[in-house]
Amino acid sequence: MWIKSNDTVKVITGEDRGTSGRVLRVDPTAGKLVVEGVNRVYKHVKRSQKNPQGGRLSKEMPVQVSNVLLVCEGCGAATRLGVRYLDDGAKERYCKKCGAGNGHVAPLKARYAKKAVKK
Ligand SMILES: [Zn+2]
């Protein structure tokens, strides 16, 4: 999955469809992420040392990565991502709509330089 922490994503399905927010945490093995303000639930907390008051705690729960789209830094649209190699061998994700790069996803590897697509 190509979504990282601190990305801005838009929810495309479910109860929170249409809301966008910042990614707080990602869990690549489960394919899930926690987005600020999305999938909020009330967790009922019993009185404890840490939380002597108890009560209802509102917190975000993870959502499936397939239910969100990245908001492109270039065109501002919610978009699917492609991945390509750059001339210097770095791997970059890009916006499928406008083609703008949206950050590197892998460290620079010189042997991949030749795979870069010429534009
Ligand atoms: Zn774009």
* pLDDT confidence of residue 118: 56
- The alpha carbon of 9 and the centre of ligand 1 are apart by a number of angstroms equal to 13
Provide the residue-wise pLDDT of the chain in tens; the chain has 119 residues: 889 999 999 999 999 999 999 999 999 999 999 999 999 999 998 998 888 888 898 999 999 999 999 999 889 899 999 998 888 888 899 999 998 888 887 777 777 776 666 55
Report d(CA 86, CA 110) in Å as an integer.
10
Q: What is the pTM of this model?
A: 0.78
- The alpha carbon of 20 and the centre of ligand 1 are apart by a number of angstroms equal to 16
Report d(CA 6, CA 41) in Å as an integer.
21
- The alpha carbon of 72 and the centre of ligand 1 are apart by a number of angstroms equal to 5
- The alpha carbon of 2 and the centre of ligand 1 are apart by a number of angstroms equal to 15
* pLDDT confidence of residue 116: 63
- The alpha carbon of 70 and the centre of ligand 1 are apart by a number of angstroms equal to 9
